[in-house]
Structure 1
Amino acid sequence: MNRRTLLASAAIALAAPAAMAQDEPVKAGFIYVGPIGDGGWTYEHDKARLAVEEHFGDQVETVYQESVPEGADAQRAITQMALSGADIIFTTSFGFMDPTVEVASKFPDVMFEHATGYKTADNLSTYSARFYEGRAIQGHIAGSMTETNKIGYIASFPIPEVIRGINSAYLHAKEVNPDVEFNIVWAYTWFDPAKEADAARALIENGNDVILQHTDSTAPQAAAQEAGDVITFGQASDMSEYAPSPRVSSIIDNWAPYYIDRVQAVIDGSWESQQVWHGIGEGMVEIGEISDAVPEEVRTSALELKERLASGEYHPFTGPINRQDGSAWLAEGEVADDETLLGMDFYVEGLTGEIPN
């Protein structure tokens, strides 16, 4: 499903060595969809930027722009960063994909790295994490701990990454609790604390005693804390200020090793376009500490699941699994292929409601 923009390969071959010839440090730029203080997605990307600074010292200069809206504003921001002399630019949201492709076509001597997308070019790589592995662990804990059998899920946008997460969490909650139901609220935002809090409160008022989220702020944790007797999970970052209750564990995005590796490639003149999709095994997805609010037997089984995922012994999408309409998707023991997962646009059997357009 990769669509490549053709650029002159000779231009790319010269781009990275040019950085080596400079006396000035390599300049690495970062475009963020949210504020660096969001406590979640952008916070972790910026932690990784700071790790780049610490690792390379005077060899590298980093710059960033936060709270960049997806769309035309993103194209302007990326263009300005390229014009300012950036050697490599990381654009860190799915909605930055087409703007990144457009700007990359105009700056063949700049290296671009786009998070969670699928379009590449000679000077444009993609990278993402297998968040659905962490969702499997969250679903396992959530299904084991709910007392109402109702789990709320605050979803951002109906893109494959988010749909994969919902499906993975549901399958693993259902595995340990056949009576569980998921109630999904589409927030249509990555970061909007007021909207996220409203979604969490609405779910709680309707009897959901576990809240999962694919949005970036800690507002759902605050809403759950106000309500009491509701558990949550950190998203993208540990959000440990809400431990041991309501936050019982978290998915943590660890971008630093990847960013350091790709900046080093620019310094070395070895940067090449690639597509990376790493998970728990490679360390790009981490599981935050499971708090004492989780029963010991659930904690143990969740950590066992984590080890099976890390080793590759187990895949979260292993059949038999049907689609929402009851049609067969994966046979007994069959594992989903990456192409299907990357384009996932359907719910699995048992989930209710429709995926918005």
Structure 2
Amino acid sequence: MNDADRTSIHEAMEQQSISISKAGIVASLSAKCSVVAAANPVGGRYNPSLTFTDNVDLTDPILSRFDALCVIRDEIDIFQDERLADFVVCTHMQNHPREPNDNVRPRNQETEALYEPIDQDLLRKYILYARTSVFPKISDVDADKLANFYKEIRSAASDSHGLPMTVRHIESMIRMAEASAKMELRDYVTSKDIDHAIATMLSSFIMTQKHAVAERLRRRFEAKYISSVTDHNELLHFMLRKMFKQQMDLILLTTGIGRDAADVDDADMPEITIDKGAFIHEAQQADLRNVREYMESALFAEVFTLDEDGKTIRRKAVAA
């Protein structure tokens, strides 16, 4: 980004206006809009050993003006990769120009939503009404909660030598808390809205750190701020998938399977299992206690299965 573009976007994001002085015309144009930006990492691939600032080659003043930063990385995930490939193939079959197949469905679908999707026209009207007619207020208790979190995370930010936390991030959390209240058409901000805003800001902050620093911050803050606003079944599901992925990575490193071949036969890959006791121990370390409820849920049954002895967790085989 050149200096002229950087100056223009600074003013637009900070003052919600753009100044023009050209050909004898001096004016200030309103720029009250949201800014959603994307940037490719330097070198074409994100390096987790570097900070977010070093990866995207943008300065702290412009990054601090965004409410949230999200790092999207192309990581190897046997579950996600299988779902994505299956979805692409099924979509291609459904949209064939001559012989579309409307009966084909992805084999690995996520658990069905509890509610029917909202019609797009209704959703558009809902958002417009929330923006123009709902103006939530924050109480003194909520303000104290934000102040305490800012004090704690700012200290951690200075120790990590990563992206700094500034007063702008307090304003960002206020906007996110108000947005959470607007989603439910409430004219007041609840403690739940503040928790969601803090969890979003913390997740954004952790993503922008170096890998080693991010893991340390996650162990320190995740149970306190993020786990409290996330469905425990989803957290346990993510944790179990991560354990399977780590086990697969270990097998690939120790056996050399797939090192020289682009395509690996499933017959060459040893079956991956996770000990139930080890999973429960990991869940307890993260202060997640409802393991039994999760293992009896449809979310667990969709991907995993428990052996007859009740001690070993296996990944379900996908039917051909």
Instruction: Decide: shared fold, TM above 0.5.
Output: no
More strand per residue: 1 or 2? 1
Higher relative contact order (CA 8 A, sep 6+): 1
Tell me which protein shows more helix as a share of its residues: 2
Structure showing greater Rg? 2
TM-score range relative to shorter protein: under 0.3
TM-score by length of 1: 0.23
TM-score normalized by the length of structure 2:
0.25
